[in-house]
Chains A and B, each alone.
Chain A
Amino acid sequence: MIKRGTISPRQVFFILIMLLTGIYILILPRHMVTMVGTDGWLVLLVGGLVSSLMLFFINRISRKFPGKTVVEFAPVVMGPFLGKILGGILVVYYTFLAAVSLRIFAEMLKSVLLSDTPRWVVVLALVALITWIVQNGLEDIARFTELLAPIILLLLIAALLGDLRYMEAIRLRPMFQTEPFSLLEGFISSLSYFGIIIVLLMLYPYVNAPKKLTITSLLALAFAVIITMGFFMGTVATFGIYETGRMAWPVIELVKMVRVGEFLERVESLFLSVWLSIAFINVSVLAFCSVSGWTQLINAENYRKLTYPIMPLPLILKSLAQRFIGCLRLIQVEFYLWFRYYANNTAFHICS
């Protein structure tokens, strides 16, 4: 059994920000631009607002069952059978999300930084570290996040400011030209993007001051929405919507443009290390949710033992993905998004 009530609302705040900005921000501008063009910021804003509603429900239901995760209280709400199934879906969702996040990161690393290094080596090194911290427990993950997140956020903002001189406001216009259907599509996409906050359902019992969480989580969401919008607008203002739509990793391209005086010419490798920490935090939290979820699902005693079978998943996923989906990473991402969306909807239904 994991000790509960050990992490502080501030740590949850940083964890949520890291999850919400996370890995997916790397491709978010392209995704948004292809769907809604320059109106991505609007879609993100509305998505954030609706997500805050969802956040409110998450807080409410979790408060009703203090000290219990969703996997534990779902059977109480919906009956043992349905509850188990729902818990199972959520746990699979966390597991899958952890694996896919890692996968996207490895993909990016491979195409941008370490093109000749075998992917399994890159992933294995990271997975080993993640397994380690997951074994150490959520408390350590939270502390790690708290230590690094402020630095990461500062660097992200610095990257945006560093590109300010390349940005032109005219590239953000004209606004409100998207067709309603694309707008809806983009909105769903952004909703599924912010929908990762349902991780909070798993974290709730571990927080030592759950009463503060409503405000904290809303703040985190607001902050994340601002950052995401910032990156979307920054990318579009720098490259224009056509170029952004062409790029595989628009944010990396954005970061590539940054130049630190006459001293460092290109800092993208540095920023990739920043993204490494983001990926590390993201996957650790998700992996923890997944592992502890599985433990609660099968009423096992010690979650640590379960880490071993679950952590190699991203490695297996690779061959699975290659076999069934083909190695097109974009399809994977799409799949990932829809998966996120459906899982979120389910969560939404239980909450309301």
Chain B
Amino acid sequence: MVKKSDKAIKSIRQSRNNKDEKKADVKPISTDLQVNLENIKEVFTNCSDIVFREFIIGYQAPVKAALIYVDGLTDKASIHDYILKSLTIEARASKPNIELNLDDTYKWIEESTISVAEKKRVENLDDVMSGFLSGDTALLMDGWNKALLIGTKGWASRGISEPDSEVVIRGPREGFTETVRINTSMVRRRLHSNKLKMEGRKIGTYTQTDVVVLYMDGIVNPKIVKEVHKRLDGINEVDSILETGCIEQYIEDHPYSPFPQIQYTERPDKVVAYLLEGRVIIMVDGSPDCLIVPTVFVQFLQSPEDYYSRILMSTVLRWVRFIGIFTAVTLPALYIAVTTFHQEMIPTNLALSISGAREGVPFPALIEALTMEISLELLREASVRLPGAIGSTLGIVGALIVGQAAVEAKLVAPQMVIIVALTAIGSFTVPSFAASIPLRLIRFPLMILGAIFGLYGVMLGWIGILVHMISLKSFGYPYLAPLAPLRVSELKDVLIRAPRWQMMTAPQFRKPTEKPPKSFLRKPYVKNSKGAVKND
């Protein structure tokens, strides 16, 4: 039976790929209901969740009909109340005005009896099958070589809850769910604009996953939308799309780079903000994360909260994150370089105390640091996999007990424990988890370089990182964008977080022609010299 469903899939695939040859390959709907049902049943043998319900419409000229739907994917109440009830009981009671021929009957049934909002007429069996597989109910009638797909999608899904990975203190608490329609609705609810476009498509030969591309018409640079569609078209042959991560890998520019070139988020407010900056959002059914393209590196350092809390605080917090990143990447390497190459840099007393603490430590600083950093990574990975309470216990056990014991056993110097702890803390300041992973990774080569060449090596490593990051592009946009190439006017959202009324100048992803009105640059409510508030 697997083979048989394979066949069905293959035909579906072909139906999508070769749209021109559609008629030749696609199985048409027969006028004989039984033939149709048998054809479908043959494809779906041993699929216990598919329900075939045969019944008769009307009594003047009774029409044999069948409903096909997937149990669990459909809203049963609406099938009962608005399809079956309408077609059987209510249709029998109501009498059409005119004498109907057969065609008009079908038309009458389609237009007047089914009290469900969404419906679609399809003309071949493949569309019927993919229709009910995605949760609609298919209505086939004897003598009619067409079929109706009635929108009855409805399945158990997770409620809207706060995203765990992007916690904010101030700002909306809701996050996306696994259902793409709910997600788009959450965006639409925040953006009542006819400019918001959502283009849907299906990807994945087996999974037939809904993928929606969102953008603001008129703000977005049309080139990006075109590029997104081009890249999405390129992944048609894939079997399954289970999560946005699968799409990300297919469409990103440099898959082998440690740095993520596409950001994902679970927060609708963030999505709206990015849409208004002229970016394109890709949503995938079955995943609460949606992709944001193009992405630049500094985005990973911006939390939506920055824009909700006060200006000064956000600016300071940004700098805290810069320091955090620098610490997470460089601190162990710097420590190794300074203590094994440039002892003259540290004040005499500190140098002596480090030297004293290292007295009896058998390993060179590099090995010492590597051991500690690797055990830190072990701990981190272990505590991520464990359920909440145990996870935090493990963290404490690891940090306190193991660290303490290692110092007492003279395996590491206490200073090294401090350095490693600071590294970990630094990497936690990055708001995006996806960006903190590469930062954790690249500190290892830096440590090795630091142990070979000292500060020269650390700098060499940094130059290498920068050369790599500068060469990265995300959908044609330079990855380090407002920094390199330098765009001074955009630094106001990188080095500082400027007041909102100053942020209205053209974002980099806007359409090239788009120029914002000058008045955007002024604070809308300005106190004039007499102290009265005036609306500008």
Q: Which residues of A contact B (CB under 8 A)?
A: 8, 10-11, 109, 113-114, 117, 122, 125-126, 129, 132-133, 136, 140, 142-144, 146-148, 262-267, 269-270, 272-273, 276-277, 280
A109 nearest CB neighbor, chain B only: B456
Given A122-B453, A136-B471, A144-B467, A265-B347 contact (CB < 8 Å)? yes
Interface positions of B from 347 to 398, Cβ below 8 Å from A: 347-348
Given A129-B463, A144-B484, A117-B453 contact (CB < 8 Å)? yes
B457 nearest CB neighbor, chain A only: A125
Is B131 in the interface zone, CB < 8 Å from A?
Answer: no
A117–B457 CA distance with the chains assembled, in angstroms: 12
Residues on B with C-beta less than 8 A from A122 are 453, 456
Say which residue of B341, B457, B470 sits within 8 Å of A144 (CB atoms).
B470
Given A269-B454, A269-B455, A126-B460 contact (CB < 8 Å)? yes
Query: Across the interface, do A263 and B485 meet the contact criterion of CB distance under 8 Å?
Result: no
Q: A117-B453, A264-B347, A277-B459 provided; 8 other pairs, C-beta below 8 A?
A: A125-B457, A129-B467, A143-B480, A144-B470, A270-B455, A272-B455, A273-B455, A280-B463
Residues on A with C-beta less than 8 A from B453 are 114, 117, 122, 125
Interface positions of B from 513 to 528, Cβ below 8 Å from A: none
The 10 closest A-B pairs by CB, nearest first: A273-B459, A143-B484, A147-B484, A269-B342, A269-B455, A136-B471, A266-B344, A146-B486, A276-B459, A133-B467
B483 nearest CB neighbor, chain A only: A147
Given A144-B484, A147-B470, A147-B480, A269-B460 contact (CB < 8 Å)? no
Residues on B with C-beta less than 8 A from A270 are 345, 455
Residues on A with C-beta less than 8 A from B463 are 129, 276-277, 280
Q: Which residues of B contact A (CB under 8 A)?
A: 341-342, 344-348, 453-460, 463-464, 466-467, 470-471, 478, 480, 483-486
| Shortest distance between the CB of B38 and any CB in chain A (Å) | 62
| Shortest distance between the CB of A260 and any CB in chain B (Å) | 10
Residues on A with C-beta less than 8 A from B342 are 266, 269
Residues on B with C-beta less than 8 A from A276 are 456, 459-460, 463
A136–B467 CA distance with the chains assembled, in angstroms: 9
Residues on A with C-beta less than 8 A from B345 are 264-267, 269-270
A11–B456 CA distance with the chains assembled, in angstroms: 25
Query: Across the interface, do A140 and B471 meet the contact criterion of CB distance under 8 Å?
Result: yes
A279–B453 CA distance with the chains assembled, in angstroms: 16
A297–B348 CA distance with the chains assembled, in angstroms: 57
| Shortest distance between the CB of A268 and any CB in chain B (Å) | 8
Query: Across the interface, do A113 and B454 meet the contact criterion of CB distance under 8 Å?
Result: yes
A264–B343 CA distance with the chains assembled, in angstroms: 11
Say which residue of A117, A146, A266 sits within 8 Å of B484 (CB atoms).
A146
Query: Across the interface, do A273 and B458 meet the contact criterion of CB distance under 8 Å?
Result: yes
| Shortest distance between the CB of A17 and any CB in chain B (Å) | 14
Query: Across the interface, do A262 and B347 meet the contact criterion of CB distance under 8 Å?
Result: yes
| Shortest distance between the CB of A153 and any CB in chain B (Å) | 14
A273–B456 CA distance with the chains assembled, in angstroms: 6
Residues on A with C-beta less than 8 A from B455 are 113, 269-270, 272-273
Query: Across the interface, do A143 and B485 meet the contact criterion of CB distance under 8 Å?
Result: yes
Query: Across the interface, do B466 and A147 meet the contact criterion of CB distance under 8 Å?
Result: yes
* 24 contacting pairs across A/B (C-beta < 8 A): A10-B486, A117-B453, A125-B457, A125-B460, A129-B464, A129-B467, A132-B464, A132-B467, A136-B470, A140-B467, A143-B478, A143-B484, A144-B470, A147-B466, A147-B484, A262-B347, A263-B347, A265-B344, A269-B456, A270-B455, A272-B455, A272-B456, A273-B455, A276-B459
A246–B344 CA distance with the chains assembled, in angstroms: 24
B485 nearest CB neighbor, chain A only: A143
Query: Across the interface, do B459 and A264 meet the contact criterion of CB distance under 8 Å?
Result: no
Residues on A with C-beta less than 8 A from B460 are 125-126, 129, 276
A146 nearest CB neighbor, chain B only: B486
Residues on B with C-beta less than 8 A from A264 are 345-347
| Shortest distance between the CB of A304 and any CB in chain B (Å) | 13
B488 nearest CB neighbor, chain A only: A10
Residues on A with C-beta less than 8 A from B483 are 147
A270–B454 CA distance with the chains assembled, in angstroms: 10
A277–B463 CA distance with the chains assembled, in angstroms: 7
Residues on A with C-beta less than 8 A from B458 are 273
Query: Across the interface, do A113 and B471 meet the contact criterion of CB distance under 8 Å?
Result: no
A352–B321 CA distance with the chains assembled, in angstroms: 54
Query: Across the interface, do A147 and B471 meet the contact criterion of CB distance under 8 Å?
Result: no
A322–B455 CA distance with the chains assembled, in angstroms: 28
| Shortest distance between the CB of B340 and any CB in chain A (Å) | 12
